[in-house]
Chain A
Amino acid sequence: MEIIITSWALNSYLELKHSRVFTDEEYKKVIRPDVLRLRDYPDDPKFENDKFWSIAEMDSKKIEDGYKMKWHQVGHGKVQLRLPVGLLGDAFLCEAYVKENPKAEKRRMARFKVHLEKIRRQEYTENGRLT
């Protein structure tokens, strides 16, 4: 499976990087290698761990084609980092964020639904592929 970096992912990384949510070392040793596991989806055993990978939901309803990659205790702030991923033939990295509260999470999922629809309609920006 190819791993597509969308402009939403790129811009969210800019924000997270500037806010120092994760360290460069964490990105290189944990986050990036985990995201690269998508190349072997669903065979990599880590996808069976629901603390790392789950179906995206909103109001307990499954979001079509939507999944979440999750990291816990990230950075000096020990935050929970989320990376929404759309699986539509390829893996589309969407808008990463720090998990806050249920209301913010619901807004994030609404945005993710729009992004998935933009991908289906082929109306998105690709900023390269993760290899």
Chain B
Amino acid sequence: MKTHTIADRNVELIEIGHQMKQERLSNTFVATAVQTAFQYEGVYDLMKMWSEESEKKEKDEIIADIQDMIDECAQKEKIEGAYIRFDDLGKIAKNIRSFKDNLRMIVDKKGGIKAVAELTGIPQPSLSRFFSSNTMPRRVTLLKIARALNLGQVQIATEWSR
């Protein structure tokens, strides 16, 4: 059986990066995805899944997963976050929903998710997941959206970002 060396894997990743580029994913996304996959086997797995997948919907989900992992891998230290009681989760989720719905209205007025994806370099499936999920928004994503749409701090201010 042929041994799959690290060099083979890295070349494979660069090839998948080229495929991603051909499918019009931004240079920023492709370069960061490949770089992250060099270091994290789970991201390599996702890249490979993407290259072997033919269904558009599933490919989009994989792209959103890869962007999530890129954001998570940017954290380089342990952080002590706040403890949240189970009984408060419902209230917090509603608060996050309302924040994202308001931000989505602003985005829609300024050209919609497609336009923001082009301006920020964040893949469209990732932005769609950002707006549809009830998880805490990442500050890095909020800042990219704010910069792209020239929004003020108040418009992206939320108690529940991470």
Contact = CB atoms under 8 A, between A and B. Distances in A.
Contact of B75 (A18, A28, A109, A118): A118
Contacts, number: 111
A111 to B, nearest CB: 6
Interface stretch (A37-45, A68-76, A121-129): A121-129
A1 interface: no
Size bin of chain B's contact surface: 35 or more
B162 A107 contact: no
5 contacts: A104-B61, A107-B49, A113-B40, A118-B73, A123-B76
Contact of B49 (A10, A32, A110, A118): A110
B108 interface: no
Nearest to A28: B86
Interface in B59-92: 61-62, 65, 68-69, 72-73, 75-84, 86-87, 89-90, 92
B97 interface: yes
Contacts of B96: 14
Residue from the set A24, A114, A126, A127 with the largest chain B CB neighbour count within 10 Å: A114
Interface of chain A, helix or strand or loop or mixed? Answer: helix
A10 B91 CA distance: 14
A10 to B, nearest CB: 6
Given A18-B94, A18-B97, A18-B134, A125 B162 contact: yes
Interface in B78-133: 78-84, 86-87, 89-90, 92-94, 96-97, 133
B40 A122 contact: no
A117 interface: yes
